Amino acid sequence: LTTDKHVDVKKITYFDPPMHHEGIYRTSRVGEAPMEKQGAYGKLKTHSESKLSQIARLDEVFGAVWFTKVRPMPGHVDVTMFGEELKDDVQYCDDVLGKVSRSFAMVIRQLPRELVLDILIFYIVLRALDTVEDDTTAFTRPGEKIMYLNAFHETA
């Protein structure tokens, strides 16, 4: 932003969410099964239709096979766009994108060459922030998560 014309910087209202929105602050249980999940994770059924019902949608099955096996859509990620010295870093980001996103990975890779790397990296950063925000077991006290989120730009 280049202006604060529409923002009252002297009077900022902070929203203090109730404790159940901030997650559960306990000793980290990394490597153990999660005790509770925040938000809708685990509460919403993700697939209400049977595999047979999904396969019966022939137009969707045809499209999936066509665009993944017969005529894959080439992505616009040029790993040398930022120079040879960053080639491995760009390749790593593209690999991570494929691991953290199934639906957005193909769409992001189809963006124009001028946008694809910016959006790809931005998406990965937002996924990392979302992971920190959603983690309900890694932080032992309420202010700790906020401290990490506020310092994210310095440590990421």
- pLDDT per position as a tens digit, 28-42: 444 555 444 444 445
pLDDT on residue 75: 87
Helices (H) and strands (E) in the chain, counts: 8, 0
DSSP structural state of residue 154: H
Model pTM? 0.57
What separation in angstroms does the CA of 135 have from each of 128, 145, 146?
Answer: 11, 9, 12
Q: What's the pLDDT at 119?
A: 93
Instruction: Indicate if the alpha-carbon torsion angle 113, 119, 121, 123 is positive or negative.
Output: negative
Compute how many other C-beta atoms are within 10 angstroms of the C-beta atom of residue 135: 17
CA distance 8 to 22: 26
Mean pLDDT, residues 76-85 taken together: 91
What is the rounded average pLDDT of the residues 95-104?
Answer: 86
- Dmax (CA) for the chain in angstroms is 59
Least confident residue range of 8-22, 95-109, 114-128: 8-22
Cα–Cα distance, 64 to 72 (Å, whole number): 10
